[in-house]
Amino acid sequence: MLDASEGYTTEDGRKIGGVVMEMKNITLRFGGVVAIQDISFDIREGEIRAIIGPNGAGKSSMLNVISGFYNPQEGEVWYKGAKRPPMKPYEVARQGIARTFQNIALFEGMSVLDNVMTGRIRQMKAGMLAQAIWKGKAEREEVENREVVEKIIDFLEIQHIRKTPVGRLPYGLKKRVELARALAAEPSILLLDEPMAGMNVEEKEDMSRFVLDVNDEFGTTIALIEHDMGVVMDLSDRVVVMDYGKKIGDGTPDEVRNNQAVIDAYLGVAHD
């Protein structure tokens, strides 16, 4: 098994660091319904960590716990070596955890550039008064942030739609813009909620390439949930498998693939 403090090296030579986030015995209930039951796992620096499971397994709930949209009734979230108190989603975001949404949550009326720029809010320090008084400083800050954003726009190959209002874009490109906005925050952890949902084969391949490239180029830690098994197995370093709110497997794709509980869950549950 893995050593908790040391990192490890993947087959393709990437260095994976220590634990950056740890979920300890998380339980989440909605009224009487238990969405997540006593789940623990960790995320290491620089790895691509997947949470998979059939529909309704509680994957999205887990992602929402990580990003602060839900606060669990029981259990602890440890982030960068400290226990995290219950937080608002925007506070979690400011701690450097960026996310995308399964159904895409973009600012439809704003241009692609403005959307991606909102991702930099964490890094923009100048307050309202300061912007009025020290105009130069605020401008410099804007320019510096714009430079970062332009690199990301270039990286994700969306230059041609820079000025286009997001509402006019097709689905696949919106997904990419959302990824760009999350990346603009230069997050410590990037959470991707079903990044391939609703995509055709070609778009899925593109998105997989971007996810791998992001991880490779920026060393970003990525946690993603997905129910397309094939995609996940190719992408991730380690996989958590959930079913009916419980964890039924955790390990490398190969380990998970040969896990009997996982096989049963996937064969026993109809999923599309």
Q: If binding is defined by CB under 8 A, does position 106 make contact with another protein? A: yes
Q: What single-letter amino acid sits at 163? A: K
Could you give the string, one character per residue 146-175, with x where binding to another protein holds by CB under 8 A and - elsewhere? xx--xx-xxx-x-xx-xx------------
Q: If binding is defined by CB under 8 A, does position 234 make contact with another protein? A: no
CA distances from 246 to 41, 57, 90 (A): 12, 8, 28
Which two tokens mark 94? Answer: 């400011």
Nearer to another protein, 129 or 267 (CB): 129
Q: Quote the crossing angle between the two packed helices 201-218 and 171-184, to the nearest 10°.
A: 10
Q: If binding is defined by CB under 8 A, does position 144 make contact with another protein? A: no
Q: If binding is defined by CB under 8 A, does position 231 make contact with another protein? A: no
Q: How far apart are CA 176 and CA 158, in angstroms?
A: 8
DSSP codes, 14-70 = -EE-SEEEEEEEEEEEETTEEEEEEEEEEEETT-EEEEE-STTSSHHHHHHHHTTSS
Q: If binding is defined by CB under 8 A, does position 107 make contact with another protein? A: yes
Q: How far apart are CA 29 and CA 40, in angstroms?
A: 16
Of 20, 23, 185, 239, the residue at the interface with another protein (CB under 8 A) is 185
Which two tokens mark 103? Answer: 């159904």
Q: If binding is defined by CB under 8 A, does position 114 make contact with another protein? A: yes
Q: How many residues at the interface with another protein, by CB under 8 A?
A: 50
Q: Which residues bind another protein (CB under 8 A)?
A: 12-13, 67, 69, 88-91, 93-94, 98-99, 101, 105-110, 114, 117-119, 121-122, 124, 126, 128, 131, 138, 146-147, 150-151, 153-155, 157, 159-160, 162-163, 181-182, 185, 202, 205, 213, 216-217
